[in-house]
Amino acid sequence: MQLESKISKTLSEKTTKTVIILVLLMLFLSPLFQSDTYDSVDRTTHQQGLLVLNQLYTTGPWNAYQKYWTHYIDAHRKLGYPLILLKGPDPTKVAKTEVVSNWTSPNPEQNIENYRSDAFTTLTAENSVVNMTFIAIYD
């Protein structure tokens, strides 16, 4: 059996130290890359979008609300948990209104009446300024 050379011993020690340092760095730095490190509220894209829709209705220009209504529907009806129903102020009106509109999925399999009450998720965003509640229901 050959003895380990001085060079291989030095390289082995340096490699071991480097690996240990990298593992420790990854261990301590990995929480920095998680979203809950910076925002303790766990919001889904569905909930965050509903909150933005609510905010646009309250303080934003009406045309921004109308565009985001359509964007919210388009973005969320194709996800793994698709949008079934969205209820909020009617975006087809020319000016800001409190008339409530319901958007429902055109997919007949996603008719809300076909679901048990525990088979879908309901999200709400309440607007205390104008007494309006936005409701989104997901499969």
Residue 1 lies in a domain: no
Q: Are residues 30 and 49 in the same domain?
A: no
Q: Are residues 30 and 51 in the same domain?
A: no
Q: Are residues 10 and 50 in the same domain?
A: no
Q: 101 lies in which domain range?
A: 45-138
Q: Are residues 59 and 95 in the same domain?
A: yes
Q: Are residues 31 and 92 in the same domain?
A: no
Looking at residue 16, what is its pLDDT? 96
Query: Distance between CA atoms of 39 and 91, rounded to whole angstroms?
Result: 31
pLDDT tens track, the chain, 139 positions: 678 888 999 999 999 999 999 999 999 988 887 766 665 555 677 888 888 888 888 888 989 989 999 988 888 877 777 888 888 888 888 888 788 888 887 777 777 777 776 677 787 887 777 667 787 777 6
Which stretches within the chain are classed as H helix? 6-29, 45-59, 62-76
Q: Are residues 126 and 73 in the same domain?
A: yes
Task: Tally the domains of the chain.
Answer: 2
Do residues 121 and 115 make contact, with C-beta atoms less than 8 angstroms apart?
Answer: no
Q: How far is CA 34 from the centre of its chain?
A: 14
Looking at residue 23, what is its pLDDT? 96
Query: Distance between CA atoms of 133 and 59, rounded to whole angstroms?
Result: 15
Residue 55 lies in a domain: yes
Q: Is the full-model pTM beyond 0.75?
A: no
Query: Distance between CA atoms of 53 and 62, rounded to whole angstroms?
Result: 11
Q: Are residues 133 and 69 in the same domain?
A: yes
